Structure 1
Amino acid sequence: MSRVNIYATQPEAYNAMFTLEKYIKNSKLPPILEELIRVRTSQINGCAYCIQMHTKSALQQGETHERLFLLSAWKQSSLFTPEEQAVLALTEEVTQISNDGVSDTTYKQLEEHFDRKQIAQLIMLISTMNIWNRIAVATNVHES
């Protein structure tokens, strides 16, 4: 079934999203960390299109296949740094915000590795990725 193409019917909405993307790129978050966030968010949201796109991008940035294979089980893996673990915990809690919000434990772990500006940037990246996932899933965009 054909669904609305938001890019074609509401380009202003996409332009707003691209403004968020420009903000994220200007934040200078490490590219591999950014892609881990994007892939993990997309895994949780079941967005095959975004998983494929950002897995490829992560590999291009130098991420390993092994870490990408283990990303959905990062809590049980020793391959992720404490900094990455804090970010992945935030990613899961923001993406599944209706469960319990963002815990004080997760926030304190973030503060061990990031300043307030960086934490704000991480939250904006995760939130933006959630919007992209919702657009792609709602409009039935498929991987190619």
Structure 2
Amino acid sequence: MTQRINYVQQSPELFKKYLEFTTLLKDSAIEETIRDLVSIRASQINGCAFCLDMHVKEARIHGERELRIHHLPTWRESTLFSPRERAALAWVEVLTKLPEHGVDDDLYERVRGQFSEKELSDLTYDVMAINGWNRANIAFRTVPGSLDKAYGLDKANLA
């Protein structure tokens, strides 16, 4: 794969602001484990190799178990995820693949049963953020692993 353009260099101020937005999410009401699962699952759905590579490495650095990462595509059948994690995974899937008629009330109520209003709002911003990054990195074919050293992802020892 060859990168098309470097969108960071072409639009540095926009990149900086979007990165600031994403960085703010680290202080949100959503725990790191769920943020990692959300980023990985959205990147899987969208087919973003760069983001999938990055977020798997981040999750491993944060202590996520390898088997849970492998089970993410089949989270509905897996016994490795808590009800709260399942709700977050359902939310990321519905917001990443928006249905024609919006978010079903039953799904909303199931997810709302696991998250406070503040948490659900913060989770939605997490989903928005990763979907934006996926779109930029897919559009410009950012090479997976190309920024590992810069982002400290080489510490995951997954190369």
TM-score, scaled relative to structure 1:
0.94
Task: Kindly indicate whether structure 1 or structure 2 has the higher relative contact order, using CA contacts under 8 Å at least 6 residues apart.
Answer: 2
TM-score, scaled relative to structure 2:
0.85
Structure 1 counterpart of 2:87: 86
Please provide the CA RMSD for this pair.
Answer: 1.4
Q: Distance in 1 between matches of 2:39 and 2:45?
A: 10
Aligned length: 144
8 Å Cα contact 1:86-1:109 kept in structure 2: yes
| Structure 1 residues 86 and 2: CA distance shift in structure 2, 3 A | closer
Structure 2 counterpart of 1:110: 111
Q: Secondary structure of 2:4's match? A: coil
Instruction: Identify unmatched segments of 5+ residues in structure 1.
Output: none
Structure 2 counterpart of 1:25: 26
Instruction: Identify unmatched segments of 5+ residues in structure 2.
Output: 146-159
Structure 2 counterpart of 1:53: 54
Q: Secondary structure of 2:115's match? A: coil
Q: Distance in 1 between matches of 2:130 and 2:117?
A: 20
Structure 1 counterpart of 2:12: 11
Q: Deviations over 1:36-63 (max 9, x none)?
A: 0000000000011111111111111111
Q: Distance in 2 between matches of 1:119 and 1:2?
A: 35
Q: Distance in 2 between matches of 1:81 and 1:133?
A: 26
Q: Distance in 1 between matches of 2:17 and 2:99?
A: 25
